[in-house]
Structure 1
Amino acid sequence: MTDSAARPVSDAGTPHRVDAREPASALLQALAEAGVEAEHSARRRAEYSYDASNYRVEPLAVVFPRNPDDVIAAASACRESGTPLISRGGGTSMAGNAVGPGLVLDFSRYMDRVLAIDEDAATVDVEPGVVLATLSREVERATDGRRTFAPDPSSKSRATVGGAIGNDACGNHSVRYGRTSDHVAEIDLITSDLARLTATESGLRATDPADSRSAARAEELTTSLEGLAREHLSAFRLELGRIPRQVSGYHLENLLPEKFNVARAVVGSEGTWAVIVGARMKLVPKPASALLVCLGYRDVVEAARDVPAILEFSPAAVEGTDEAIVSTMRHRRGPDSVLGLPDGQAWLFVDLDGDDPDSVSAQADRLLERLGENGRLVQGRKAADPAERASLWRVREDGAGLSSRLASGGESWPGWEDAAVAPEGLADYLADLRELLDSHGLTGVMYGHFGAGCMHIRITYDLRTEEGRAVFREFTRQAAELVVRHGGSLSGEHGDGRARSEMLSIMYSPEVLAAFAECRRLWDPAGILNPGSVTDPDPIDAHLALAGVPDREWRTSFDLSPASSERDPWVHAVQGCIGVGRCRADSGGVMCPSYRATRDEKDSTRGRARVLQDVVRGARTVEEGWRSEEVREALDLCLSCKACATDCPTGVDMATYKSEFFDHYYRGRIRPRSHYSLGWLPRVLKLTGRLSGVVNAVLATKVGKVAAAAGGLTTKRALPRFAGAGEWRREVAAEDRADGSAVLFVDTFTRGFRPEVAGAASRVLRDAGDTVSCTADACCGLTWISTGQLGTAKRLLAKAAETLDDGTDRPIVVVEPSCAAALRKDLPELVHTEQAKRVASRVRSFASHVADRVSAGWKPSPAEPAPARAVLQTHCHEHSVFGASAQRKALEAAGVRDVVDATGCCGVAGNFGFEAEHYDVSMQVAENALAPALRSTGHKEAVLTDGFSCARQVDQLAPSRPGLHLAQLLDPGTAGRERGSRG
């Protein structure tokens, strides 16, 4: 084996060393001279040292190519300097084939366009960085839903076409549509010797017909590939392409004379043959009707035994998951996060489709009847409701992340997550695999493509210790032998990469392995493309990201202790990110607003987590610990929206990590001015409350802009009106009772800026059947938390706990969602007392409390008729801590039937959008959802903004449409007071 920092890279294939620790001056200079910018900061290298696998390999630099000429320049510089060249899409590889020791090309940032759609030819012309979900969406829009792009892996919202070609990705509907190789027409490539070739279904040609050098290379390479197939006819026919999901190794069966299709052969080569710079992909008809049938079983083996019977009904998908993933989903996102699941401990999701809904439904009935006769089905049901269908698919699609950190407190890792057998042999394979797991004391969390015989199994390896890594190596070897005995493939979708390439000798004969190596040499004589994978592989236990992390105590203010772990809590927390990259999706959920605005990996939850992971491992890239400037830079555009704590399948809570880091980073340093002007806002409001009239008058003049600039605030955003100190008390006076059944907590923002909301909230609570005790004698410390001033925050929270712990279990209803979230989540994590836990357990956001009352039968009766249509801007903290459905439930109960969801962060996010250096990004974030929602609706339609920050952004975007709190929209007015008093 050859160390991955020292790959064979000379033109003749003669090994010589490239030391990743030496400055890459020659490479960087060559790229600069060619006009290509390469980023090689410590922070950038940390971000790209990882993908979604177990591996960490530090690159020399990263390039974001804008066109094929940039790729030519990069390949030329790498060829001249002997530097490895690694292609990367969404960075979601679970096999370690998107990391490497040289120059990384990230195609997802700029080369991400759909270039042309030809519906008549059923093809689409794309750049390699286009995201699969984006491609499908654009094709369906352009063809009025008649056609789509079929491959749909669970990572489709961030995985790219180039990555799908590299790994031969499949997806949930592969039972119907097969692999990516079934959908490729032509692939545009650049080789390490700088030829520009197009692989077609019949051979190779120069991409540019006038390029005589590339034309000669195409002819030479075609002839060589034909000769390679003739030399190994028998081996290729006997060993390759035996089962639907045989992805391991190169797909050289496509070079056989009876098949010769170079485009299909390129698919699955994992970036080791050439660099993909474009492709023409095939489109398929989109079925008019589809119906999900969900089936419950006692365990995954029982479920797998029914797969052959299910396949007789020609399903489009047969996916499955086990109870560990479902339990984790409910634990992390609430009981309503999984809807419509039948009884059982393992489940299959069967998608049936066709042209007629009635015939599809009848087919589902026949399927359920047949499976009932088999005797293994516990319960089955049709999921016709779109919300149920989306909920169930979300469980399956988030399987990789959910299974990594389970509700039980355990962890699991990839490495043997991708083996495949023939579907009819899946049950026997799984039964034997469970015995093998038991023999090593391991547990496998199982989910995957049951209908294609491909299982994703994440396993409870201990990759942090030598003993655990020894078990990992031995288990993987024995698992490879097991799947081969069952006639299967080491990889069924993710490729071999660093995770399985070493074990290919168990699956293939020496002849086939030699053919793989020769084919790679024919394509890449310089030997620089994606070293460490497929041929001449690195050991599977080399470069493990969890190995070598020093045992060090990191003192934190937040209690980040996992349910069961002997590791340092801070290390355990930041290592929660496993790279699945849902934070890079442009739709679904709320995270990560800054990434959606900038499209830069450093601004994704994953990018930030990877930099933090390098900190705790003491890596050369980032080695200053709590004082690391690279970490500060990575966290700079984090809006502390908390959405990742819920939307990230592994529960990464970057807002908390940012607060903790800033608390350490700024100790003994001068903070940004906004940390004082906004971070100390509750103290400021005590002064402005007494002098509100004077303050508002002064701030309305030019002095206001001077004051804002002096405080580090943007002058582009109008400052809010400050309320008088006693305004909120006058608003709630009629409803305030010392013995109320609910405590209405009037927070700093409501007292200081929106006192009228306090009055509306108290009247709504009374209308809903509560008597109300009002209090404002505490502070949640939110502004100190968000700016990382945790000493003050802890003192304020401890006082709040003491004030609110009144010996009752009365709900504490908080008007402002961010303050509610701070009291519910941050209070017990920062104040480590039973009192803090008691108070936190009683805290409700206003919306969640009202939604509970609606569920109990209360019907709102607002004084003003509810609008027929409203824009809903759910506060990020409401979404993360209390759930996203409460406001919608209350609106529907009030008669608002048409709700336009502005799903996503508003962009202000507390102090962020008021800070001068962040204003432009805050307005970009608004363009993710809020601004388009406002533009698409009329000026008279209500805009619901429970969060003060959200209301300020609406004021900025649409001054004539003030944002309303839910309490204002539901306010029964004076009549409500009378109803409450009579009750």
Structure 2
Amino acid sequence: MGGGGARRHVVNLRDRSPAPGRRSPRELLAALRDGVPGVEVDAGAGRRAQYAYDASNYRVPPLAVAFPTNAAQVAAIVRICGSLGVPIVARGGGTSMAGNAVGPGLVLDFSRHMNRVLNVDPETRTAVVEPGVVLDELQRAAAPYGLFFGPDPSSHSRCTLGGMIGNDACGNHSVRYGRTVEHVESLEIVTADGVHAVAEAGGLRPADPADDRAVRRVAELNAALEGLVTANLAQIRTELGRIPRQVSGYQLHHLLPEHGRHAARALVGTEGGCAIVVRATVRLQPAPAATTLLAIGYRDVVDAAADVPAILEHRPTAVEGMDEAIVATMRHRRGPDAVTGLPDGTAWLYVELDGDDPESADRRATALLGALRAHGRMVAGRVIEDTAERRSLWRVREDGAGLAARLVGGGESWPGWEDAAVAPEDLAGYLADFRALLAEHSLTGVLYGHFGAGCVHVRIDFDMTTPAGIAVMRAFLRDAAALVVRHGGTLSGEHGDGRARSALLTTMYGPRMLAAFAAYKRIFDPDGLLNPGMVVDPPAIDADLALYDVAPARPAPSRTGFAFPDDPDGQAGAARRCIGVGRCRSDGGAMCPSYQVTRDERDSTRGRARVLQEMLRGGADGTLTDGWRSADVHAALDLCLSCKACASDCPVGVDMATYKAEFLHHHYRRRLRPRGHYTLGWLPWWATAAGFAAAPVNAVLASPAGRLMARLGGVTPERALPRFAPRRALRDALRAASGGRPDGRPAALLMVDSFTRAFRPEVAGAAGRVLADAGVPVAVRSGLCCGLTWVSTGQLGIARRVMARTVRALDEGPDAGLPVVLPEPSCAAALRHDAPALLGTEAARRVAARIRTFAGALNEFADAGWRPRNAPRQVTLQPHCHERAVFGAATQSALLRRLGVETIDESTGCCGLAGNFGFEAGHYGTSMAVAELSLAPRLRRAGDDAAVLADGFSCRTQIDHLTGTRARHLAELLDPNPSGGENS
């Protein structure tokens, strides 16, 4: 790109050392800290690793990352970067699938601080927002006024308005509400030379009319834009705005006189390559009075697409489609009940219709079903009336990108051609030709997307690790571009062109239109420093691929602790599960508790996975070159609570608790460990010894000497240590728990885990009595350990030996065929999930299949008519994170409802203690902040009649610390003989 004065040198991070005229991370850091006092900026290797990726196929480590707090800081940063010739990439949620949220130079992360809804005006139906505000935050702010923002990408829980403006995002309801561009009223921007201006209908104006420099620059910009439009009227009017989802290129038609010379809307979709948005005024929509959901099954996606024109005649608010691969993956990963309500078929459409009331919406759905039956393509269809089923179905669609990334058979698929669009009436023909093109190149694609808008997402099993595989990808993308153009479509329908498609725009647009795009960028960014390579002057589509030429995992040992049987390349393949969709950055829910507290990318599951990926790259190419000894990786993993929520909630099944354990295993190999690893990690051993002298041990631990011992042992002084139970209490509990049928044969084996033995043996007695009362008499086994504390501290060699002993004991003898019930959910999860992965034996897998939590055993084996005599009416429930992740989210609540509990106030997140985490020195503040996300507020509002239920020992300990009230185990809650006859 020429023009605009002398060109400055643009930093190329593929050059490993700063030659004359180039800037190192240290130089940039110093200039920003001197020139922009108070700005948070980080050029550390770990931070650069976290921001080297988005949700695309590309990897470009930046020089540094800055977290501005206001427009003045942004303008100052831009001026300094301009003087140094350092490129700038504006970033929100980092969920771009086209590679337009990564780049060389400086990344500006707006999601950390510039993330507020500044105003909602119900009279004008507008909102003023900062670029880093997450869409769901805007929706919550607008909801009290009966309003909402129309475009709703599937990433609504973590995508930002700035990113939506940059990509011109759409979403599930685009058949009714269209693209982001149609809802933008004005934008406050900072130009490439640091001028603060406002773009709106009629052109640009200075944000501060008294700023003479801004006044002059804005006048130049307005004149240049008018000249550009005048010189290219014919091309702009004929080549742009042809179909609803034409996002590719720049939206220059909004500068036409008949469109009000709307400078703000012309900047929408420029991917941060023309100006940096620092504030936006957007239009809101009135919420529909009522909606209903119709699920329709088809033989394949082509049949589904062929019905779209007829569906659109009924004015739906959404028409979404997907194929069977996504549904199968959801059920495989989260259980057969994870997807309910779908009719027969191997491809489906979701059709949402609205109405003045639920009855009118349902009548419209019934009429549409009748019309589709007449067309003859529909296999089956039904109106989804149950709200839980609706949530389940929408969750499948929203997690489509992640679910399609790792399918049931273990194969990997990737973006790259994930959002091309055609006119809806041409969708069936396009899909038929597209599937033929996939077959021609011997590729497989998983299809889903916005069928009502003619926009189809597809993830394809590209091989981006070898030259031959990349050659296939390159040839396919060229042919796919030609195909969609033949169908009158667009390369991008909502994600932007980015690194994935910008180089293919020559297929879609003529030379004069491409020259007009280049001229438009030069007007705003003459030196090409704003997100270079997006749309204009692009790199090759196979440049900077994250998977190509990765050195053979140099830091990886020849033998990992865990087997990682479902991941190619072991630990490296497991870390590669993270594809950047960013669900871990969502607000609320179980994943990821530390991120919800700090709001720092480093503390998200994604941030940790990206740092691990960099560590495992090896070679001179990586930002992290010190392998398993990496301090940056250790820092990123430090606040991981090992709650395992990501293992179930992440659409691709990233299991950071396992990855952390593996890392700690190698990080401290043949090295001195933190003191807490010897105290908390060896807790089962210490607890067994303490049981022989519980009274004096408890007395010492409660004294100042005990607190000093705890501090020396790496345990936080802010917590009281739990009291050890005497051996006689355990003997009494074991005797009370044992029982059998009249013939003396038990129906299950109750394994009394280490936590129950050491701290609450009375729970074992209660568990045995409740199971017997429910028709499941048990035999009792004590003295075995699941090895969890050694796993969570990364002492995998010891954990393997402990687990092997337990597996051998459970796999042999007269009780070998019985279900194994554990009162402690985390211990059950360790034997179900960790033992097979660590031991890799058939015996471990046999035992794992028999493991049940206490609640799970009652759900599965209790007599159909059993009702406990003393079930409470109200329960405040804290499910254990590991039970939720490994055995299912509704294990306890489903049982309680079945037993007649009327009100269940269920915590949706981690308690914050999380095993050893909340006891470790340095973690107390985070632990308490995590408790405030969900558990603590529920405890404060719990009524006097509500029972507080927590099966997990960690959860109970945290509740006791928060309230001074002892939470009860489910077995204690349902115990038919609460006195138990035990001396406990």
Equivalent pair of 1:777/1:803 in contact (CA under 8 Å): no
Equivalent in the alignment of 2:399: 398
Equivalent in the alignment of 1:697: 699
Equivalent pair of 2:765/2:980 in contact (CA under 8 Å): no
Equivalent in the alignment of 1:915: 920
Equivalent pair of 1:557/1:790 in contact (CA under 8 Å): no
Equivalent in the alignment of 2:185: 185
Specify the SS of the correspondent of 2:56.
coil
The whole-number CA distance in structure 2 between the counterparts of 1:975 and 1:62 is 60
Normalized against structure 2, the TM-score is what?
A: 0.96
Residue 837 (structure 1) aligned to one of 832, 845, 848: 845
Equivalent in the alignment of 1:100: 103
1:824 aligns with 2:827: no
Equivalent in the alignment of 1:952: 957
Equivalent in the alignment of 1:363: 364
- Cα deviations by residue, 1:884-925 (Å, 9 ceiling, x for unpaired): 111011211232121112101111100000012111111111
Unpaired runs of 5+ residues, structure 1, are 1-7, 978-983
The whole-number CA distance in structure 1 between the counterparts of 2:933 and 2:158 is 16
Equivalent pair of 2:128/2:279 in contact (CA under 8 Å): yes
With over 3 angstroms needed to count, the CA separation of the structure-2 counterparts of 1:777 and 1:975, relative to structure 1, is closer
Equivalent in the alignment of 2:643: 641
Deviation at 1:857, TM superposition (A): 1.8
Equivalent residues in 2 for 1:490-501 (5 A)? 490-501=491-502
The whole-number CA distance in structure 2 between the counterparts of 1:559 and 1:677 is 23
Equivalent in the alignment of 2:451: 450
Equivalent in the alignment of 2:792: 786
Equivalent in the alignment of 2:558: 555
Specify the SS of the correspondent of 1:348.
strand
Deviation at 1:151, TM superposition (A): 1.4
Equivalent pair of 2:3/2:522 in contact (CA under 8 Å): no
The whole-number CA distance in structure 2 between the counterparts of 1:304 and 1:173 is 17
Specify the SS of the correspondent of 2:247.
coil
Deviation at 1:266, TM superposition (A): 0.8
Residue 861 (structure 1) aligned to one of 848, 854, 868: 868
Specify the SS of the correspondent of 1:192.
coil
Equivalent pair of 2:582/2:606 in contact (CA under 8 Å): yes
Equivalent in the alignment of 2:905: 900
Deviation at 1:446, TM superposition (A): 0.4
Specify the SS of the correspondent of 2:137.
helix
Equivalent in the alignment of 2:409: 408
Residue 851 (structure 1) aligned to one of 841, 854, 859: 859
With over 3 angstroms needed to count, the CA separation of the structure-2 counterparts of 1:515 and 1:616, relative to structure 1, is same
Equivalent residues in 2 for 1:796-815 (5 A)? 796-806=802-812, 808-815=816-823
Equivalent in the alignment of 2:21: none
Structure 1 window deviating more from structure 2 (480-489 vs 351-360): it is: 351-360
Equivalent in the alignment of 2:329: 328
Specify the SS of the correspondent of 2:405.
coil
Specify the SS of the correspondent of 1:296.
strand
Deviation at 1:836, TM superposition (A): 1.1
Equivalent in the alignment of 1:470: 471
Specify the SS of the correspondent of 1:917.
coil
Deviation at 1:9, TM superposition (A): 10
Equivalent in the alignment of 2:5: 12
Deviation at 1:205, TM superposition (A): 1.1
With over 3 angstroms needed to count, the CA separation of the structure-2 counterparts of 1:692 and 1:422, relative to structure 1, is same
Equivalent pair of 1:52/1:93 in contact (CA under 8 Å): yes
Specify the SS of the correspondent of 1:973.
coil
Specify the SS of the correspondent of 2:277.
strand
- Cα deviations by residue, 1:720-759 (Å, 9 ceiling, x for unpaired): 1111123233123134147311001110011111111111
Equivalent residues in 2 for 1:480-519 (5 A)? 480-519=481-520
Amino acid at match of 1:73: A
Deviation at 1:834, TM superposition (A): 1.3
Amino acid at match of 1:165: I
- Cα deviations by residue, 1:119-168 (Å, 9 ceiling, x for unpaired): 00100111100000111012103x1xx11112110011000000000000
Residue 656 (structure 1) aligned to one of 655, 658, 671: 658
Equivalent in the alignment of 1:872: 877
Equivalent in the alignment of 2:343: 342
Equivalent pair of 1:766/1:976 in contact (CA under 8 Å): no
Specify the SS of the correspondent of 2:188.
strand
Equivalent in the alignment of 1:3: none
Deviation at 1:220, TM superposition (A): 2.1
Deviation at 1:384, TM superposition (A): 1.1
Specify the SS of the correspondent of 1:170.
coil
Equivalent in the alignment of 1:752: 758
Deviation at 1:562, TM superposition (A): 4.3
Specify the SS of the correspondent of 2:62.
coil
Equivalent in the alignment of 2:972: 968
- Cα deviations by residue, 1:341-397 (Å, 9 ceiling, x for unpaired): 111101111111122111111111001111111111111011111100000000000
Amino acid at match of 1:89: G
The whole-number CA distance in structure 2 between the counterparts of 1:394 and 1:19 is 40
The whole-number CA distance in structure 2 between the counterparts of 1:154 and 1:809 is 45
With over 3 angstroms needed to count, the CA separation of the structure-2 counterparts of 1:892 and 1:821, relative to structure 1, is same
Q: What is the number of equivalent residue pairs in this alignment?
A: 960
The whole-number CA distance in structure 1 between the counterparts of 2:385 and 2:212 is 58
Deviation at 1:525, TM superposition (A): 1.8
The whole-number CA distance in structure 2 between the counterparts of 1:24 and 1:551 is 27
The whole-number CA distance in structure 2 between the counterparts of 1:814 and 1:347 is 41
Deviation at 1:453, TM superposition (A): 0.3
Equivalent residues in 2 for 1:96-495 (5 A)? 96-141=99-144, 143=145, 146-259=146-259, 260-495=261-496
The whole-number CA distance in structure 2 between the counterparts of 1:779 and 1:549 is 40
Equivalent pair of 2:305/2:451 in contact (CA under 8 Å): yes
The whole-number CA distance in structure 2 between the counterparts of 1:15 and 1:111 is 29
Specify the SS of the correspondent of 2:322.
strand
Amino acid at match of 2:624: V
The whole-number CA distance in structure 1 between the counterparts of 2:190 and 2:279 is 10
The whole-number CA distance in structure 1 between the counterparts of 2:273 and 2:6 is 14
Deviation at 1:179, TM superposition (A): 0.5
Specify the SS of the correspondent of 2:736.
coil
Equivalent residues in 2 for 1:24-43 (5 A)? 24-33=25-34, 34-35=36-37, 36-43=39-46
Amino acid at match of 2:784: A
The whole-number CA distance in structure 2 between the counterparts of 1:10 and 1:629 is 45
Amino acid at match of 1:655: A
Equivalent pair of 1:31/1:37 in contact (CA under 8 Å): no
The whole-number CA distance in structure 2 between the counterparts of 1:709 and 1:902 is 31
Equivalent pair of 2:868/2:899 in contact (CA under 8 Å): yes
- Cα deviations by residue, 1:21-56 (Å, 9 ceiling, x for unpaired): 332343222211121232000000000000000000
The whole-number CA distance in structure 2 between the counterparts of 1:75 and 1:974 is 69
Amino acid at match of 1:857: A
Deviation at 1:219, TM superposition (A): 2.3
Amino acid at match of 2:198: T
- Cα deviations by residue, 1:282-312 (Å, 9 ceiling, x for unpaired): 1100011111111111111110000011111
1:52 aligns with 2:55: yes
With over 3 angstroms needed to count, the CA separation of the structure-2 counterparts of 1:911 and 1:858, relative to structure 1, is farther
1:725 aligns with 2:727: yes
Equivalent in the alignment of 2:686: 684
Residue 669 (structure 1) aligned to one of 668, 671, 678: 671
The whole-number CA distance in structure 1 between the counterparts of 2:300 and 2:559 is 41
The whole-number CA distance in structure 2 between the counterparts of 1:325 and 1:427 is 20
Residue 895 (structure 2) aligned to one of 887, 890, 901: 890
Equivalent pair of 1:13/1:525 in contact (CA under 8 Å): no
Equivalent pair of 2:10/2:87 in contact (CA under 8 Å): no
Amino acid at match of 1:363: R
Normalized against structure 1, the TM-score is what?
A: 0.96
Amino acid at match of 1:700: A
Equivalent in the alignment of 1:595: 595
Specify the SS of the correspondent of 1:726.
helix
The whole-number CA distance in structure 2 between the counterparts of 1:11 and 1:867 is 75
The whole-number CA distance in structure 2 between the counterparts of 1:419 and 1:313 is 25
The whole-number CA distance in structure 1 between the counterparts of 2:827 and 2:978 is 28
Specify the SS of the correspondent of 1:105.
strand
